[in-house]
């Protein structure tokens, strides 16, 4: 059993349009990576919406440092999938769907 604090619930304000992305032109069944919902939200806020880390962290109900760790993990996962031709599956993590209106 893991010791330590339980993960704080992260607020997700927008569901993904798709929960799976697959590379084309790759023979056989490609490996896959998991992008958690909080990692998806971090990329959406920081990269797609160009939101500052402080505001994005507030929107997700986490500290700025936690937001930056989530974003770093998300970018590493996505880059691994792109470079190595892996399927990206979006699911999991400690999250709750918040209001659609962002803070």
Q: Domain residues for 73?
A: 10-97
Residue 2 lies in a domain: no
Residue 31 lies in a domain: yes
CATH number where 34 lies: 1.10.10
Q: What is the mean pLDDT of residues 63-75?
A: 97
pLDDT at position 8 over 80: no
Two structure tokens written together for 99: 């209001």
Residue 83 lies in a domain: yes
Percentage of the residues of the chain whose pLDDT score is greater than 70: 92
Residue 52 lies in a domain: yes
Residue 1 lies in a domain: no
* Residues in a beta bridge with 12: 97
More confident residue, 3 or 8: 8
pLDDT at position 98 over 70: yes
More confident residue, 87 or 2: 87
Q: Which residues contact 44 (CB under 8 A, 6 or more apart)?
A: 14
Count of all residues that appear for the chain in the document: 103
Overall domain count for the chain? 1
Closest CA relative to residue 33, chosen from 75, 77, 70: 77
């Amino acid at each position: 059993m893991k010791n330590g604090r339980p993960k704080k619930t992260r607020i997700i304000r927008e569901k993904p349009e798709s929960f799976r992305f697959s590379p084309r032109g790759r023979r056989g069944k490609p490996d896959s990576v998991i992008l958690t919902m909080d990692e998806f939200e971090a990329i959406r806020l920081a990269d797609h919406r160009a939101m500052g880390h402080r505001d994005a962290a507030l929107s997700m109900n986490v500290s700025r440092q936690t937001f930056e760790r989530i974003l770093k993990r998300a970018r590493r996962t996505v880059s691994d999938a792109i470079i190595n031709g892996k399927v990206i599956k979006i699911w999991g993590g400690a999250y709750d769907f918040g209001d659609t209106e962002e803070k």
